[in-house]
Structure 1
Amino acid sequence: MSHNDCIFCKIIAGDIPCFKVYETDNILCFLDIGPVNKGHALVIPKEHHENLWALPTELGKDILEACQKAGKAIVEATGADGLNVGMNNHEAAGQLVFHAHYHLIPRFKDDGHDHWQQQEYENMDEAAQLADKIKGLID
C-alpha cells in the first residue's frame, strides 16, 4: 500500500476527519471509529511507518508520552477501571491498517472482553531453549 492509500496518512493530512484527543508535532491521537469500548483511541506517528519494527526508536519517547497523557485522560473521562495499551503487528496479529499505531482501550470490570488464554511450556528446558534462541537473534 502506498502512503497515498493509507487511511491514517489521509487523517493526518486532514483529508479524512477524526476526533482528535491529543496532538504534537510528531504524534496524533484520535478516537477509534470502531471502538472495543467507548473512548478507545489510537496513537499514531505522523510519519508513515508500517509497524513496530519500522518505527524509529527516537519516536519512542513521544509515543510513550502520548500514551500516558491520553491514556490517563481516557480513563478519567470514561470512568474506566483500567486501560489496555496494545499494538498489533502484521495481519495475523490483527493489524488492519498498516501504519504503526497503538490502541488505548478503556476497560471496565464487567465489560465482557476476556483476556488471552495462557499456555504452559512442556517443561523448563523448552522455555530455556526458546529464551536462548530469542537472545541469539537480538541485534
Structure 2
Amino acid sequence: MFCGIVAGQVQASVAYEDEATLAFMDLGQFHPGHTLIVPRQHIADIFELDKTTGAALMAALSRVARAVRNAFTPHGINIWQSNGPPWQEVLHLHFHVLPRWRDDGLLRFSPPQRSRPSRAELDEQAARIRAALEAGGQRRS
C-alpha cells in the first residue's frame, strides 16, 4: 500500500515530501495530526535500512514532528516504529508521529509495573548487544 502511495497510484493526504521520504496522514487517526513517514524506496523494516536513507528519515521525522507540534499544539508527541509480528501491519518501514494530550487514554508503551534488573543483569544485556554489534549486526539463525 505505501509503495502505491509513493508512486502516486494510491491517494494520500501528503504533508511533506523530499527526494528520499514522504509523510502523509494516517487513515486510522488516533488524534488529528497523526502522520506517517516512509522512505520512498521500498524497505520492509529497520533491519534493511541503510545509513543514508536512515539519515534522511531522521531529518524528515524531526522536521515533521516539529510541524505537527506547531500545527496542533499538543502537550507532547509520540514517535514509534514497529518491526515484524505482532505489531508491524504494513511491510514498508514507517514511523508514526502522534500528537498527544495529557490524559488522552492512548497508547501506554510500558507496563505500569516494570522490572528493575540488577546492575549485573543490565551489564550482561549491554555485553550481548556489544557482541552483536561487533558481529556486524547480522541476524543469528
- The TM-score normalised by the length of structure 2 is 0.87
Q: Distance in 2 between matches of 1:124 and 1:68?
A: 33
Number of aligned residue pairs: 132
Q: Distance in 1 between matches of 2:50 and 2:118?
A: 37
Q: In the TM superposition, what are the counterparts of 1:1-139 in structure 2 within 5 Å?
A: 7-92=1-86, 94-113=87-106, 114-117=108-111, 119-138=114-133, 139=136
Measured after TM superposition, the shift of residue 124 of structure 1 is 2.1
User: What is the one-letter code of the residue matched to 1:123?
Assistant: S
Long gaps (5+) in structure 1: 1-6
Percent identity of paired positions between Structure 1 and Structure 2: 29
Q: Which residue number in structure 1 is paired with residue 139 of structure 2? A: none
58-67 or 109-118, larger mean C-alpha shift? 109-118
SS at match of 1:120: coil
RMSD (Å), alpha carbons: 1.4
Long gaps (5+) in structure 2: 137-141
Q: Distance in 2 between matches of 1:62 and 1:115?
A: 26
Q: Distance in 2 between matches of 1:73 and 1:122?
A: 38
